Amino acid sequence: MSVKEIMDIIREKLGGIAEDIRYVESAGIIVRVKPVNLREASHIVHDVLDAYFRTMMAVDERPINNTFAAYYVYGLDDKGINIIIEAHADPYTPVLPSIADIVPAADWYELEAWDLLGIKFKNRKLHRFVLPDDWPEGLYPLRRDVDYTVRPSPRITYKPPLQGPRLPVGPYHPALHEPEYFELFVEGERVVDVEYNGFHVHRGIEKLAESPRFTYQKIPFLAERICGICGFVHSVAYTLSVENAAKIEVPERAQYIRSIVLEVERLHSHLLWLGVACHLLGYDAGFMHSWRIREKVMVLAELLTGSRKTYGINLVGGVRKDINMDKITAIRNTLAWLRSEFAKLADLVTSVPQIVRRARGTGILPRDEARKLSVVGPVARASGLDRDVRRDYPYCAYKDVSFRVPVYTEGDNLARVMVRVEEIFESMDIIDQLLDKLPGGPIMAEKMEVPAGLVGIGNVEAPRGEDIHIIITGRGRPYRWRVRAPTYQNIPALKVMLRDAPLADAPLTIASIDPCFSCTDRIVVIDLKTGKREKLQTVSIPGECGCEI
C-alpha cells in the first residue's frame, strides 16, 4: 500500500478533527490535532487503524511557536509507516488530555513529560517519575530556559517516620549497581502486585546533547554510552535520525558495515543474556560455556571496530573503520566456529530439565496484553506479535538480506529463550549474506549539512527490541533529541507477567525481558498478611549497564 492510499484512509478517518495532515519522508504522516481532539485521534489510530504505540516526544517549542508540543508516534508495522499525532499546549499552563486509558503504553511517557517539561495531563494521577524526590518543585529540566549546568540544591522533604519495626529497603546508592527497584507485594508465595521504581541512573543525556558542549558529530559517542550492552544500536539510531532528517546520502558500504557490526553486537548480547538466564536458574555450567563462546564474538568486535564495547566507529554520514579481506576472513572463521559450538550448546540448554521445567509456563504475557502495551523485541515475538524493525521499517542494509523472524505464541519464559536462541542463528546468517554482498566504495558521505527545524526518526532493532530516536534539528546540534530504549516499553509488561505467579519465578521473569538497567536487581518482598518487609538479593546480571536515559 502506498503512502498516498494510507493518507487517503487517514483523511477519511481523521479528516473531521485534524487541523493539518502532511507527509514528511524522514518521519511519517504527521497529523496535527487540537488538544480537545487528542483522545479521539489516539483512539482512531490505536484501535481502529491498529497501529502500535512507538514513542512520544514532548518538546518545549516556546522559542519557535510559543507552545509546548507533544508528538505521539504510532507505527503501522505491516506497512512500515509512522503516523505521528501532534498536539500543542498552552505555553503558560501546558495541559493535555491523558490518553493512558486508551493507549496503556503511553502511561510512562506522560509521567516523564510531566516530570521533565511540566506538561500536565488531565484526568490521571501524576507523580514524580524520573526526577529524584528531593528535586525542587516547578523546575522542569528539559525546558529550554533551564540551563544544562543547573544543579539545584535538594529540596528538604519531610517523611513521617515509619510505624513499627523498621527494616532497610533497597539501596538507592548511585555508586552501587542498583539503579532499578521492584516492590513485589506477596501473599505467602504468590505475587499479587508489582511496583516499579526506576530511573536511578537518569543522566540527562538528552539535555546534555542540546547543550553547546556538543555537536552533531560528537553525539554518536555520547549516544553509544546510553547502554553498555547495545551501545552501537543507540549510536546508529541517532545517526539514522539525523541522516533521515537532513537527507544525507550514506554510502552503501557504510550501511553494510553498520549492519554487520549491529549483528555482531546482537550475537554478543544474546549470548550474554543466555548465560545470565542459565546462571539464574542455577545452571552455571551453561552460563560459563555461553560466555566462553561470547568471548570470541567480543574479540571479533574488537578486530572490526577497535574496541570490545563502545565501538566508536559511527559518525553522521558513515563509519570510520573499513573492513578489509583479512577481517572478512576472520569474521567467516569466527562464524564457522561459533555455529558449531553454539549449536551444541543451544541443543543442550534447551533440553536440560533445570531450564525447561523452570521456564515453561512461567511469566506468561498473553498476546492481547502484549498488544495493549505495544511491547517490543523478543518479548513481543514470544507473545505472538510478529514485529521486527529490521523487516518492518528497513534501515541500513537489512533490505538486501533475507531472514526469518522467530515468533512463538506461548508468551512464557521458555518462548523468550527460544526466540533469542533462534535469533542467534539468524544473525549469523545475516552476517554471512552481508559479507557476500558487501559493495565497494567510500565509507563516509561527502556532503554533510544539517539544516535547522527538521524532524527525523531513526529506528533500530536492538537485541532487546525496537530502539527509536526522534530528532528535531537545530543549529549545530539537535534542538531536541528523544531516545526511547526498548526496556522502557517492556518494563510495564512485567506487571502482567509477575502477577499471580509464584515468587520463585520472579527473578527469571524479570530477567526474561533482558532488562537493560543494571548489574544487581534487588527485590523487596512485602508480605501483605504480616506487613513484614525483607530485602531479597536475587538477580545478578554481570556486565549489564544502565540503559534508562
Partner 1 sequence: MSLKKLLKPFKLISIAHKSGVVTVLYPYQKPLITTEFRGKISIDATKCMGCGACVNACPPNALTLSRRDDTIVLNYFIGRCIFCGRCAEVCPVGAITVTHEFELASASTRDLNESLVHRVEKCSGCGGGLGATSRMLQYVILRSPASENYVHLCPNCRKKKLIQSLAMKMGARTEDYEG
For binding to partner 1 (CB under 8 A), which residues are involved? Answer: 213-214, 217-218, 221-222, 225, 285-286, 289, 292, 295, 299, 302-307, 310, 312, 320-321, 341, 344-345, 347-348, 351-353
Judged by beta carbon, residue 209 or residue 523, the one nearer partner 1 is 209
Q: How far is the CB of 221 from partner 1 (least distance, A)?
A: 4
Angle at 335 between CA 312 and CA 327, to 5 degrees: 50
Alpha helix ranges (H) inside 306-398: 325-349, 353-359, 367-372, 377-382, 389-392
Q: How far is the CB of 344 from partner 1 (least distance, A)?
A: 6
Handedness of CA 484, 241, 261, 78 (dihedral sign): positive
Backbone angles phi, psi at 303, to 5 degrees: -65, -35
Angstrom distance (rounded) from CA 410 to CA 419 = 11
Angstrom distance (rounded) from CA 310 to CA 296 = 17
Q: How far is the CB of 223 from partner 1 (least distance, A)?
A: 10
Judged by beta carbon, residue 47 or residue 347, the one nearer partner 1 is 347
Contacts for 208 with CB less than 8 Å, ≥ 6 apart: 148, 214, 222
Q: Are 89 and 117 in contact (CB under 8 A)?
A: no
Judged by beta carbon, residue 306 or residue 543, the one nearer partner 1 is 306
CB atoms within 10 A of CB 315: 21
Element (H, E) at 18: strand 18-24
Angstrom distance (rounded) from CA 307 to CA 327 = 14
190-197, strands of its sheet edge to edge = 190-197, 181-187, 520-527, 533-540
* Strand bridging mode 95-97 / 120-122: parallel
Judged by beta carbon, residue 9 or residue 299, the one nearer partner 1 is 299
Amino acid at 526: I
Judged by beta carbon, residue 43 or residue 339, the one nearer partner 1 is 339
Q: How far is the CB of 301 from partner 1 (least distance, A)?
A: 10
453-491 core/surface letters (b: 16 or more CB in 10 A; e: else)? ebbbbbbbbbbbbbbbbbbbbbeebbbbbbbbbbbbbbb
Judged by beta carbon, residue 191 or residue 293, the one nearer partner 1 is 293
Q: Are 493 and 370 in contact (CB under 8 A)?
A: yes
Judged by beta carbon, residue 352 or residue 407, the one nearer partner 1 is 352
Judged by beta carbon, residue 310 or residue 433, the one nearer partner 1 is 310
Q: How far is the CB of 491 from partner 1 (least distance, A)?
A: 29
Backbone angles phi, psi at 121, to 5 degrees: -115, 125
Judged by beta carbon, residue 307 or residue 433, the one nearer partner 1 is 307
Judged by beta carbon, residue 120 or residue 320, the one nearer partner 1 is 320
Q: How far is the CB of 281 from partner 1 (least distance, A)?
A: 13
Judged by beta carbon, residue 197 or residue 310, the one nearer partner 1 is 310
Q: How far is the CB of 328 from partner 1 (least distance, A)?
A: 14
Q: How far is the CB of 352 from partner 1 (least distance, A)?
A: 5
Q: Are 459 and 395 in contact (CB under 8 A)?
A: yes
Angstrom distance (rounded) from CA 279 to CA 273 = 10
Judged by beta carbon, residue 217 or residue 520, the one nearer partner 1 is 217
Q: How far is the CB of 231 from partner 1 (least distance, A)?
A: 11
Q: How far is the CB of 175 from partner 1 (least distance, A)?
A: 17
Q: Which of 249, 304, 244 is nearest to 434 (CA)?
A: 304
Place of cell 503558560: 92
Place of cell 539503579: 179
Backbone angles phi, psi at 510, to 5 degrees: -60, -40
Q: How far is the CB of 410 from partner 1 (least distance, A)?
A: 21
Handedness of CA 15, 19, 22, 24 (dihedral sign): negative
Q: How far is the CB of 315 from partner 1 (least distance, A)?
A: 9
Q: How far is the CB of 303 from partner 1 (least distance, A)?
A: 4
Q: How far is the CB of 339 from partner 1 (least distance, A)?
A: 15
Contacts for 53 with CB less than 8 Å, ≥ 6 apart: 46, 72, 73, 74, 103, 105, 106, 374
Judged by beta carbon, residue 218 or residue 332, the one nearer partner 1 is 218
Place of cell 523487516: 391
Judged by beta carbon, residue 280 or residue 300, the one nearer partner 1 is 300
Q: Are 430 and 263 in contact (CB under 8 A)?
A: yes
